[in-house]
Structure 1
């Protein structure tokens, strides 16, 4: 198994030479096909990590390598989903999902001639996430959970090798959040896409991930890396089992200690 993402001894500072050092000596690796989660105290640099991997920020020191290439500009093989779905209100759900195809170069030139093919792909994704028949609805006609399902479709429509999830379920109620954990679990199993999830929810990280990185307080670095031992496929009943809760409590303790040590 090869590394899809390699971050080596990275420093990232905002605001010039005297500005805020967000991460320092940050090092981690995510293998192709893995589901990795990143957890840590507030302000530890989790969102900075997202921007480094996607090429939205270039570090002052160290190397960020994605799919074997040094990151020096925005990375086209990445799909992204955030806590706020930010769907365009004047476009239907289907049109919102197709939006990345108008931007990603390898699809942009094919979109007009092969639009039926892309629409079928989008409708298939909608069916996978439980939104069959909702493609003609506008975002304001969807619940928050439905918008986030559509947001996942939009992140996957251009067939990214890497999916970056930044607190995508944080604004949802507990039941909807758990439903979407199962959706993303099934998408990962079906498509084999590499996923990096940034989250504050330790149950979410433990349920979904193969590997969990625990970050320190700012400036962020990886304090610990844990392999999640639970076999796949995982069902929600797992969260009531003692080994699962022991792991969640251990992660909580590590983060609490990191916060105190700041």
Structure 2
């Protein structure tokens, strides 16, 4: 399967002469794959995300998405972060519709086909357990419900690439595991049409969700190892209590500890 996201020997700093955030960073993520990126704090995981979506451009190396070198923000990408960042004056449904007001071709079609888009948004909310919540404002939703809404907003414009930057990090353990299953099911329903890159500190989260896990070094970040997760899909949460699952988590933890000590 062809690489959908490809970074080749990428180096980047946020200021002229500043400390490198990443250096010699290379990775390939196949179309339809669910990849996770883990590593020590400050290793450049979020920088990788910004480079892959065209929010930053490398000083050296190449970033290719869907066969094209990235030279502007990637319109085919959806993004979700640790903070849901829902606009408080908009209802949940109105927040979901926001990307459609910005991204073509939806922007040109929205006024004429609004009923069609509203039905699509409501169906997406229903699929993550938020049926009937479209009229509620963000402050009327729990943290977990807000994050479900944020995931829906990231998917409403049918992106080919979904970038997740610590999306469940602020949630309690039970809600976090619920949302693991939500994103697992959303990815499965896209049937190979959605490529996901998850940036996370949670090694259990990475192991449960990903097909492949990339582990980064201490800053300046680069990939020091990758681990294929070959548990069959669909995965049930019970797998997180198995020895095979724990072995992967412990191996990743050891790799990160080595990276930190090498700094």
Q: What TM-score range do you get, normalising by the shorter chain?
A: over 0.9
Aligned pairs (5 A) from 1:135-146: 135-146=134-145
- Three-state SS of the structure 2 residue aligned to 1:105 is coil
Give the corresponding residue for 1:116. Answer: 115
Give the corresponding residue for 1:181. Answer: 180
Aligned pairs (5 A) from 1:35-54: 35-54=34-53
Cα distance in structure 2, aligned partners of 1:30 and 1:121? 29
Cα distance in structure 1, aligned partners of 2:18 and 2:174? 41
Give the corresponding residue for 2:210. Answer: 209
Q: Which runs of 5+ in 1 are unaligned?
A: none
Q: How many equivalent residue pairs?
A: 261
Aligned pairs (5 A) from 1:31-70: 31-70=30-69
Give the corresponding residue for 2:5. Answer: 5
TM-score by length of 2: 0.99
Aligned pairs (5 A) from 1:56-205: 56-191=55-190, 192=192, 193-205=194-206
1:221 aligns with 2:222: yes
Write out per-residue CA displacement over residues 184-238 of structure 1, whole angstroms, 9 at most, x where no aligned residue. 0000000131100000000000000000000000000000011102111100000
Cα distance in structure 1, aligned partners of 2:14 and 2:171? 31
Cα distance in structure 1, aligned partners of 2:70 and 2:87? 29
Cα distance in structure 2, aligned partners of 1:261 and 1:235? 36
- Three-state SS of the structure 1 residue aligned to 2:255 is helix
Cα distance in structure 2, aligned partners of 1:184 and 1:255? 25
Cα distance in structure 2, aligned partners of 1:20 and 1:141? 42
- Three-state SS of the structure 2 residue aligned to 1:12 is strand
Cα RMSD of the aligned pairs, angstroms, is 0.5
Cα distance in structure 2, aligned partners of 1:71 and 1:46? 18
Cα distance in structure 1, aligned partners of 2:115 and 2:67? 33
Cα distance in structure 2, aligned partners of 1:127 and 1:30? 30
Give the corresponding residue for 2:234. Answer: 233
Cα distance in structure 2, aligned partners of 1:105 and 1:121? 17
CA displacement at 1:183 relative to structure 2: 0.2
Q: Which runs of 5+ in 2 are unaligned?
A: none
CA displacement at 1:106 relative to structure 2: 1.4
